[in-house]
């Protein structure tokens, strides 16, 4: 198993979920905080993949810049997500929409949750003083689904999934052209 002791926790905010976020495993759906190294989780493109590393980061460690983002039910497309999902502001959400292909020449791209703030009820999440994000790393970066929403995981070296990532300016351009919700573009994988 790779040495993951040196993964920088502060940089893992890009792939950070709230506790109780459900993920599909070989054993069935589990809250992410129950997933441990050795579990296999379902990824969109590569089926079941082994989890090599998990961690938690207290919101106290991250400060206000780490305040969680809540994506309400149906905010990105009808039924996407099918229940509210809470992620870190830098968590990368995979979207598919004709405007993505038109402007950026690719069918899918990641957009950071912070760049969705204000869109269709997406906003800061309420949280308690003990709130901590859950992180996981697989052998390679992957896309996983939580409540119908596709998000990025990290690989053991800290690398991110190989999809384009829209910067803040590109995200504003995309949002400014949409009269319909940004489609999360995820087919059910479970």
At residue 176 the predicted structure's pLDDT band, cuts being 50, 70 and 90, is low
Averaged pLDDT score across all residues of the chain: 79
Per-position b or e across 55-77, b if 16+ CB within 10 A of its CB = eebebeebeeebebbbbebbbbb
Please give the backbone phi and psi of residue 60, each rounded to the nearest 5 degrees, phi first: -60, -40
Rounded Cα–Cα distance for residues 5 and 21 (Å)? 24
Confidence of residue 2 (pLDDT cuts 50, 70, 90): very low
**What is the percent of the chain with per-residue pLDDT over 70, rounded to a whole number?**
74
Provide the pLDDT confidence category of residue 15 given band limits of 50, 70 and 90: confident
**What pLDDT shows up at residue 157?**
56
Task: Give the whole-angstrom CA distance, residue 56 versus residue 32.
Answer: 10
Here the tokens at position 38 are 């050795």
Sign of CA dihedral 145, 146, 149, 154: negative
The pLDDT score that the predictor gives to residue 39 is 95
Token pair 């009269």: residue: 179
pTM above 0.85, yes or no: no
Q: Return the minimum-mean-pLDDT range out of 67-71, 121-125, 176-180.
A: 176-180
Q: What is the pLDDT of residues 65-120, one digit of tens each?
A: 788 999 999 988 888 899 999 999 988 888 887 888 888 888 888 888 988 888 88
- Give the pLDDT confidence of 28-54 residue by residue, as tens digits: 999 999 999 999 999 988 899 999 988
């Amino acid at each position: 198993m790779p040495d993951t002791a040196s993964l920088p926790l502060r940089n893992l905010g890009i792939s950070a979920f709230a506790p109780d976020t459900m993920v599909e495993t070989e054993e069935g759906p589990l809250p992410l905080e129950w997933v441990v190294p050795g579990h296999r989780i379902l990824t969109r493109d590569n089926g079941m993949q082994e989890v090599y590393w998990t961690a938690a980061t207290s919101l106290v460690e991250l400060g206000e810049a780490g305040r969680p983002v809540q994506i309400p039910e149906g905010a990105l497309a009808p039924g996407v997500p099918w229940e509210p999902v809470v992620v870190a502001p830098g968590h990368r959400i995979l979207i598919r929409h004709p405007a993505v292909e038109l402007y950026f020449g690719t069918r899918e791209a990641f957009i950071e949750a912070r760049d969705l703030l204000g869109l269709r009820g997406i906003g800061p999440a309420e949280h308690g003083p003990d709130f901590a994000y859950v992180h996981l790393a697989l052998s390679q970066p992957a896309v996983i689904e939580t409540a119908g929403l596709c998000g990025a995981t990290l690989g053991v070296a800290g690398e991110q999934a190989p999809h384009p990532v829209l910067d803040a300016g590109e995200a504003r351009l995309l949002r400014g052209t949409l009269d319909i919700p940004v489609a999360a573009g995820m087919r059910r994988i479970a």
